[in-house]
Amino acid sequence: MASRPTRAAILGAALLLAGCASADPRFGPRLGEHQIGPMRVVILDDRRVDLACQVRRPAPGQRYEGCWVPSERTIISRNDIGVLLHELKHALDPEWTH
């Protein structure tokens, strides 16, 4: 589990990655791969997120908007700050459920 300073650094980096986010997708996280400390963040277009998450965390009948893949220390998210922060919560607090 990450220490408080590490969590703060990761959260700060995620917010910088997101920029000035709003409901307008033009202001969401940039598409592509980003490294935040030991974590990789992959932002994909909406069509590709579900496929990428289904390959890593199969859940027939579920449509993914994002996922946390602990074995790869990777967040996969669509271009949406809410989804990115949701997956970041999973990454930083493994016991958190919804």
Model confidence over 48-63: pLDDT tens digits? 999 999 999 998 899 9
In a domain, 36, yes or no: yes
Residue 98 included in any domain: no
In a domain, 97, yes or no: no
Assess contact for 60 and 67: CB atoms under 8 A. no
Stronger pLDDT, 8 or 1, i.e. the higher one? 8
> What residues make up the domain containing 63?
4-92
When pLDDT is averaged across residues 58-82 and rounded to a whole number, the result is: 94
Stretch 80-98: mean pLDDT: 92
d(CA 65, CA 80): 9
Residue 81 lies in a domain: yes
Contacts of 4 (CB under 8 A, 6+ apart): none
Threshold 0.75, pTM exceeds: no
Tell me the mean pLDDT in the region 7-32.
Answer: 59
**What is the number of structural domains in the chain?**
1
Please compute the mean of the pLDDT values over residues 29-47 and round it to a whole number: 90
- The answer to whether residue 49 sits within a structural domain is yes
Does residue 40 fall inside a structural domain? yes
Q: What torsion do the CA atoms of 49, 54, 60, 66 make, to the nearest 10 degrees?
A: -40
